[in-house]
Amino acid sequence: MQPGRDISVLIDIMARLRDPKTGCAWDLEQTFETIAPYTIEEAYEVAEAIARGDRHDICDELGDLLLQVVFHARMAEEEGVFAFPDVVEAVTRKMIRRHPHVFGPAEARTPHLVKGLWEKIKTEEKAEKAARLGGEAPAGLLDAVSVAMPPMLRAVKLQQKAGTVGFDWNDPRAVLAKIREELDELEAEIDRADRDEPDGRDSRRAVEAELGDVLFALANLGRHLDIDPEAAVRATNEKFRKRFSYIERKLGEAGRRPADATLQEMEALWQEAKTEA
C-alpha cells in the first residue's frame, strides 16, 4: 500500500489495521473509550502547532486528528452503526443548515448576526434531537453546555450563554473588580485554613472553591477581552519552560544544577532570561 492524497487511502489503511486476521494487535484491542483520550490529545496538539505558528506541523497534526475521526468511524462501521461517509454527510448537512445566509434566503451581514443565527439553529437542532430520542431538551439555558469540555473552555461557554440573556458585565474593568473580590475571599480562606488543623478537609474544600471562583472570573476576563484563556495559559506555559531552561543552561555552564542553587540565584537568572526573550 502506498501513501495517497485521497481520503479513501486512509480509510483503507484503517480497515487493514482493524482486520481481525492480519491487522495490528494494538489497533484491534482499541474501543471508543480507549481512543477518546488520544482524540482530545491530538486536538490539543493541533492547537499547540497553531500557537507556534508552525504551518508544516499544523498539517501533520491535522492528519493525526483526521486519523482519530477515521478510527472512530471504522469502529462504528464494524458495529453496523455508521461509517465515515455518514460522518461526512452529517457534518455537511449541519453546515448547510447552519448557514442559511450563504446557502439559503436568510440574511446576516455581520459576524454578530451570523453568530446569533448559528446559536438559534443549534438550539432548534438540540430540541429536535431530544424529541427524536424520546427525551426532552435541556431545561435550563446552561444545561446544553457539554460537561466534557476542558474546564476553562466550559467556563467561557457558560458565561457566553448567560450573557445572551443579559446576565453579564459590559466592561472588562467590572470583571477585574470581581477578580480582586474573589482574590480577597481566597486569601481569607487561606488564612482561615492556616489556623485550622493541617489536614482539615473542610478548610481545603473552602480554599479549593475560592480558587475555582478566581479561575472562573479570570476566564470571564479573557472572554471580555476577546482572549482565549486556554491559549493565554498555553503561551505562558511555553514562556515558563523556556525561561526555566535558561536557568538550567546557565547553571549547567558552571557545572551546577538547579537543585544546587539558591532561590535568589535562580531568581537572578530568571530576570536575565526575561531580557533574553
Residue closest to 118 by CA, chosen among 142, 150, 96: 96
Stronger pLDDT, 108 or 49, i.e. the higher one? 49
Which three cell numbers, joined as nine digits, stand for 22? 492480519
Distances (CA, A) of 134 to 3, 30, 66, 139, 140: 45, 31, 32, 15, 18
Q: What is the pLDDT of residue 197?
A: 63
Q: How far apart are CA 149 and CA 167, in angstroms?
A: 22
In the predicted structure, residue 277 carries a pLDDT above the cut 70: no
For the chain, domain boundaries: 7-132, 151-227, 231-276
Whose cell is 457566553? That residue is: 160
What single letter denotes the amino acid at residue 39?
Answer: T
Q: What is the pLDDT of residue 77?
A: 97
Percentage of the chain exceeding pLDDT 90: 66
Mean of the pLDDT values across residues 98-120?
A: 82
Q: What is the pLDDT of residue 79?
A: 97
pLDDT band at residue 135, thresholds of 50, 70 and 90? low
**CATH number belonging to the domain at 7-132, selected among 1.20.120.1460, 1.10.287.1080, 3.40.50.300, 3.30.750.24:** 1.10.287.1080
Task: Render pLDDT for 153-177 as a digit per residue (tens, 0 to 9).
Answer: 999 999 998 998 899 999 999 999 9
pLDDT band at residue 72, thresholds of 50, 70 and 90? very high
Homologous superfamily in CATH for domain 151-227: MazG-like (1.10.287.1080)
Q: How far apart are CA 155 and CA 218, in angstroms?
A: 10
Q: What is the pLDDT of residue 70?
A: 98
Contact 23, 75 (CB under 8 A): no
Instruction: Decide: residue 73, CB within 10 A, 0-12 exposed, 13-18 middle, 19+ buried.
Output: buried
Contact 50, 38 (CB under 8 A): no
In the predicted structure, residue 199 carries a pLDDT above the cut 70: no
User: Fold match between 7-132 and 151-227?
Assistant: yes
pLDDT band at residue 211, thresholds of 50, 70 and 90? very high
CB neighbourhood size of 104 (10 A): 10
Task: Render pLDDT for 116-129 as a digit per residue (tens, 0 to 9).
Answer: 877 788 778 777 77
Q: What is the pLDDT of residue 107?
A: 79
Mean of the pLDDT values across residues 237-250?
A: 94
Residue closest to 231 by CA, chosen among 74, 100, 53: 53
What single letter denotes the amino acid at residue 220?
Answer: N
Residues 6 or more apart in contact with residue 252 via CB below 8 angstroms: none
- Find how far residue 104's CA is from the centre of its chain: 32
Mean of the pLDDT values across residues 138-161?
A: 86
